[in-house]
Amino acid sequence: MSIKLGMFAMPIHRPERPYPDVLREDQEAVVLADQLGYSEFFVGEHHTSQLERITSPLMFLASIANQTKNIRLGTGVLNLPLMHPVAVASSVAQFDNLCGGRLIMGIGSGSLYTDIEAFDLTKPDVRGRMMMESLAHVHALWSKEPPFELPGEFWNIKLKDSLWPEFKVGWTPRPLQQPFPPVAIAVITPNSYGCRTAGQRGWIAMSGNFIHRRYLREHWETYAAGCEEVGRRPDPANWRVGRCCLVTESEAQAEDYLADPESALNYYYKFFRFNFAKGRGALHMVKPDPAMSDEDTTVEKITRSQVICGTPGRVLDQLVALREEVGHFGTLLATSHDWDQPELWKNSMRLLAQDVMPRFNRAIAVH
Confidence (pLDDT) at 367: 64
**Rounded-to-integer distance, Cα 307 and Cα 297, Å:** 15
**Rounded-to-integer distance, Cα 74 and Cα 53, Å:** 17
Residues 6+ apart with CB under 8 A from 11: 22, 26, 29, 43, 44, 52, 54, 336, 337, 338
The pLDDT tens digits of the residues spanning 261-304 come to: 999 999 999 999 999 998 888 999 999 999 999 999 999 999 99
Residues 6+ apart with CB under 8 A from 73: 30, 40, 41, 43, 61, 65, 99, 102, 103, 104
CA distances from 82 to 6, 87, 130, 259 (A): 27, 10, 9, 40
3-state secondary structure at position 81: helix
Are 181 and 95 contacting, i.e. CB atoms less than 8 angstroms apart?
A: no
Confidence (pLDDT) at 315: 98
Confidence (pLDDT) at 191: 86
Residues 6+ apart with CB under 8 A from 134: 80, 81, 83, 85, 88, 154, 155
Confidence (pLDDT) at 348: 98
Question: Domains in the chain, ordered, with CATH?
Answer: 4-76+182-249+313-365 (3.20.20.30)
Confidence (pLDDT) at 279: 80
Provide the percentage of residues in the chain whose pLDDT is more than 90: 96
**Rounded-to-integer distance, Cα 165 and Cα 97, Å:** 23
**pTM, two decimal places:** 0.97
Are 230 and 265 contacting, i.e. CB atoms less than 8 angstroms apart?
A: no
Ranges under pLDDT 50 in the chain = none
Torsion of CA 264, 268, 269, 273, to 10 degrees: 140
What residue type is assigned to position 188 of the chain?
A: I
CA distances from 49 to 104, 114, 115, 288, 334 (A): 24, 8, 8, 27, 22
Are 263 and 244 contacting, i.e. CB atoms less than 8 angstroms apart?
A: no
Q: Output the CA torsion sign for 121, 45, 234, 287.
A: negative
